[in-house]
Chain A
Amino acid sequence: MTLESVARKDFRDALRSRWLLGLTLFFSLIIGGSTALFYGVLLKGAGANSETLFGLTTAPGGLFSFSYAGMLGFILALIALVTAHGSLIDERESGTMKLLLSLPNSRRDVVFGKLVGRTLVVLISMLVGFVIALFAMLLTGGQVMFASYAGQVALSGLLATAFVSIGIWLSATSESQRQALFSTVGLYFIFAVLWSTVVTGVPRILNWAIEQLPGVEPMAGEQVALMQMFIKYLNPLRAYETLVAQLYGPAAAARLFKAGLGESLVLQPILQESIPFYLSGPFILAVLLGWIVIPPLLGYWTFTRVDL
């Protein structure tokens, strides 16, 4: 199967360029190192459990929340994008794509082979980091909650894969390396920084549009808040964070994690009663899986139509 040989060649290239080695060292330091520092130095072997770092941290009164997962999500997404955004366009610009497609490889083999190769590179290096973190906790006398820790590793893998997928998509649809770089940076900026503007902006625009229609009532405060939360978790970074939070606590609390005071006041009673399906854990997991499946399909769709 040639998809496999494309993937294997791509992975071997990552080995040769020491990219895999570099990423492995990076994640060992970031995940393993920070965990060792936290449990070994900060807590001085006081025997805390893995939730202390990996779970959610919310100061009393909800004034301040921090999650290690959230921070890790930003890093994983960035690394995955950096790894994947050049995968196809680099080969198109240099001309190695012509060599690749002179052989009986289909464009489908090329897009999905690259996806597999680059995903493996990110996943393997990330896993090494998590394994080192596990040993760091065990060695410093920390108690590891294996089920939630495994769940968190799995979710991190899904997030990384989603961003490799997004990177492949951008690489497949770009006409130049520069365009791929700019669209990647732009998209990351939207997901990581501008998303709260999208979250508040979309319902506001919708309501404005509704107000222009005669005889239709605009959405009430509750509906707006629910819609905002729905949009918030369409972002793979936010979806990941709330799914990780759900590993350590009830779903309602996980959805309201990092929510503003006003938002919490409106939504808490609703979510306590029952969580709408579009804010449920399975649905948000499906969103995250959607980010893995849909972007490469879109990228493939474009890539099969271009002139090299």
Chain B
Amino acid sequence: MAAIELHGVTKRFEDDRGVLGTLGLSSDTDSVTAVDNLSFSVEEGEVFGFLGPNGAGKSTTINMLLDFVRPTSGSVRVLGHDAQAESVAVRRRTGVLPEGYDVYDRLTGREHVEFAIESKEADDDPDELLSRVGLDPDDAERRAGGYSKGMAQRLALAMALAGSPDLLILDEPSSGLDPAGAREMREIVRAEADRGATVFFSSHVLGQVEAVCDRVGIMREGELIAEDSIESLRDRLEAEAILRLDVEGDADLSAVRALDGVSSVESSDGRLVVACTDDAKTRVIEAVESNGATVADFETDSASLEDIFLAYTEDEKQEVTA
């Protein structure tokens, strides 16, 4: 059985400009499609990395798994339950590290964990959980209001681990953690997966995902644009090369993009970076020259996983810089 199943899920946020919108006085009703007809599933026991740049719809998707937001259409099932109608049943067996949360200022770290254990009707030892996530015992006795982002993140992870959940949903778990903390986080994810838990976690940094994930999904502008195992991503990468060109004059890039075997073209200050298959390199150079520019110099690299990730999400980046 699949731990997470989405079928044709769409989420539109209607932003109706307050009172004027309600009264129909303002025609300025924005509707933002955060997630667009999304379907995928995560199998039990799998470690699934949910990738994509900020604003791609990752958190909205996670929020729908947890019934924080409701899908406009489509069906979401988690651990065999309807994510909306049976949300409590879902959360009873799920550990969650949400995005955009805050801790209770006046409760101590330990009290947070005790509250999580109590809510999940579990019998964990709070101190054990706290030491597992590396929260100092002295800090655990302090009120969480004074915690740094990294400490709060460790605390929230301890709460998520309470009750040995069948599914862990972690939204950007490494944010706020230093490199050592991020590594500890990955170790915990590994250990939970070895215990048999399904882990679903999101990140906008590929490096945190590739070491622990069995499979990744890449989101862009509300759609899943790739869903694959790390191995086949690597296979694809062996056939892929990165071509860096110094050009003089403005080339018509759309012609270059249209070439067979070219997956992305980025340009800045007379420098072109083209991701393409090995055999397409000469065609790329020819196309640049025949479209109004001269190639002064070029070099080639084999692509890294990071390049592929950037290639997949490149359009987003261009919109940001535009």
Contacts and interface: CB of A to CB of B under 8 A. Distances in A.
Interface of A: 2, 5, 9, 12-13, 16-17, 94-96, 98-99, 101-106, 305, 307-308
A5 B91 contact: no
Contact of A98 (B68, B88, B116): B68
Given A5-B118, A308-B68, 5 more contacts: A16-B107, A99-B156, A101-B91, A105-B119, A307-B68
A283 B102 CA distance: 45
Given A5-B115, A99-B159, A308-B68, A106 B104 contact: no
Contacts of B70: 305, 307
Contacts of B156: 99
9 contacts: A5-B115, A12-B111, A96-B101, A98-B98, A99-B103, A102-B66, A103-B159, A104-B119, A106-B87
Contacts of B107: 9, 12-13, 16
Contacts of A308: 63, 68-69
A88 to B, nearest CB: 14
A92 to B, nearest CB: 10
The bracket for how many chain B residues form the interface is: 20 to 34
A106 B99 CA distance: 19
A246 B45 CA distance: 68
A99 B105 CA distance: 13
B207 interface: no
Contacts of A17: 106
A99 to B, nearest CB: 5
Contacts of B120: 103-104
B100 interface: yes
Contacts of A305: 70
B88 A102 contact: no
A95 B88 CA distance: 19
B106 A13 contact: yes
A99 B118 contact: no
B92 interface: yes
Q: Is the interface of A mostly helix, strand, loop or mixed?
A: helix
A105 B101 contact: no
Ordered nearest first, which 8 A-B pairs have the shortest CB separation?
Answer: A102-B96, A95-B102, A307-B69, A103-B119, A16-B106, A98-B101, A104-B92, A98-B98
Interface string B56-90: 00000001001111100000000000000001100
A5 B119 CA distance: 7
B152 to A, nearest CB: 10
A226 to B, nearest CB: 36
B160 interface: yes
B101 A99 contact: yes
Interface string B144-165: 0000000000001001100000
Contacts of A102: 66, 91, 96-98, 101, 159-160
B63 to A, nearest CB: 7
B116 A103 contact: yes
A289 B136 CA distance: 49
A96 B101 CA distance: 6
A245 B101 CA distance: 49
Contacts of A104: 88, 91-92, 119-120
Contacts of B87: 106
A105 B88 contact: yes
A94 B68 contact: no
Contacts of B69: 307-308
A96 B103 CA distance: 6
Contacts of A16: 106-107
Contacts of A9: 104, 107, 115
A44 B87 CA distance: 63
Given A13-B104, A96-B102, A308-B69, A106 B88 contact: yes
Contacts of A2: 119
A141 to B, nearest CB: 44
A16 B143 CA distance: 10
Nearest to A15: B106
Contacts of A307: 13, 63, 68-70
Contacts of B106: 13, 16-17
A181 B53 CA distance: 37
A307 B66 CA distance: 11
A2 B98 CA distance: 20
A99 B119 CA distance: 12
